[in-house]
Chains A and B, each alone.
Chain A
Amino acid sequence: MGGLDDADRSHAYSECERVLARILTKRKAAPVDTPIRVLITKIGLDGHDRGSRIIAAYLRDAGHEVVYTPPWQTISGVVRLALQEDVEVIGVSSLATDHLIVPDLLRELAEAGLDDVAVVVGGIVPDSEHAMLTDAGVGRIFGPGSSRDEIVDAVNQLGAAVRDRRSRAEVPA
């Protein structure tokens, strides 16, 4: 086989790189741990979904699998989604008092045997109503100005805790 000129050499090199990259990607994709599954949704009548879309993108970039719904979901719809999608965390975006029905969501989740799912709320929640949500079982509340890291860290922690509890129970309730 004759000598390579520079063009051949650079072509050969990029071919090799491509193959190598594919093999390394495959290896990376072989899951050591699977992504946390998160449902990002809005219940109630408010349709401002910019916030929930941004959060979905944050969590995607953090390596999570985000089941995203448009606004105007019903509580029973969210419960069925959480059941079928086997999510570990539910994030509810609320900008216009929809957080007031989050306790109802938590109750229906529990009735469906999903009381182990972590629920977080983000958006506008008056300070005076935080206790009402946390008493109902909301894991975290993110107000305006919450950072990407803060949100991602909380989802990581809550999701890992749910996964840990579930790994102890062979068959879900």
Chain B
Amino acid sequence: MSTLAAAVAAGHEGNLARALTVLEKGGVDAIALRRTLLEHTGRAMVVGVTGPPGAGKSSLIGALIGALRNEGKRVAVLAVDPSSPLSGGAVLGDRTRMGEHTLDPGVFIRSVSSRGQSGGLSRAVPALIDALDAAGWDVVLLETVGSGQSDVDIAEYADVAVLVSVPGLGDDVQAIKAGMLEVADILVVNKSDLPGAARTARQLEQMLSLRSSDSVHPPVIRTSVPDASGIDSLVSELGRTARAGGRLRRLRKEIVREAESAFALRLSKDLVDRACRSVLDEGREISVVALELAAR
């Protein structure tokens, strides 16, 4: 596998694509490959883009690619779409909105299925970021599954997390809710050519003004992809806002996630059946039963 890692680091596109497949699959090959790739990481800026379905995340990324290319940056995209809870399959269509960049040698786009993972990303995403980083891509744009309210993982995986909102989704109560709004580094009001954009932006600004003065106030940027407006200010905010130490932050998050899912995986159906019975027949408290299981 080290041959493959070397080929990835040397920038060969076909090898990078194959490496991503290996990492997504997991197992021994992925572990060995990852170890070598990690030696070459730490340079890319990872930009997370999240928001509800239909907010225009993919189209906005299409526009961001163009602007970043104008600055001479080499841009990679990981576009995550949901997998089917029934079949495990997926239709990956995000790159449809980035079609004009298909032939640009300075752009690499990969569609990713969430493969049963909740939280808007797939389990392999940190490894995929490492591969793109090791392959020398300057910027990695990471698009989540349409989500955004409570799927806050992206804020830790990305160096700068962008929450994409659109006019007309809800009233000002939405703007004061907890969750992604609190951890995003940049708030974008996309489709700002539509009526109500100013109002949505104002609601977000007001929400921010209620925060304590020592907390960070992320900028609110209005964008419109068809009008090509706001894109350049978004790009300059990305550079200004990006946090350092991304490699370590991603690793930390990934280890916590893995540990949590390992706890759940160790429970056999028998154990859980027994726990169910002890709740139903002995009237025991669910949280206590669950803790006992986790502590085994």
List A residues at the B interface (Cβ < 8 Å): 1-4, 9, 12-13, 15-17, 19-20, 22-31, 34-35, 37, 56-57, 59-70, 74, 76-77, 80-81, 83-86, 112-114, 166, 170-173
Contacts and interface: CB of A to CB of B under 8 A. Distances in A.
B280 A67 contact: no
B109 A64 contact: no
A69 B89 contact: no
Contact of A19 (B26, B89, B96, B272): B272
Interface string B244-268: 0000000000000000010011010
A83 B14 contact: yes
B17 A84 contact: yes
B35 interface: no
A26 to B, nearest CB: 6
B295 interface: no
Contact of A30 (B3, B7, B20, B265): B265
B40 interface: no
B115 A29 contact: yes
A77 B102 contact: yes
Contacts of B83: 65
Nearest to B275: A16
Interface residues of B, number: 54
A54 to B, nearest CB: 11
Contacts of A67: 92-93, 95, 111
10 contacts: A2-B283, A3-B283, A29-B116, A34-B21, A63-B84, A70-B96, A76-B103, A83-B14, A86-B21, A112-B14
A22 B265 CA distance: 10
Among A12, A16, A56: residue with most chain B CB under 10 A:
A16
Given A34-B25, A66-B90, A23 B267 contact: yes
Interface in B86-118: 86-93, 95-96, 99, 102-103, 108-111, 113, 115-117
B88 A85 contact: no
B292 interface: no
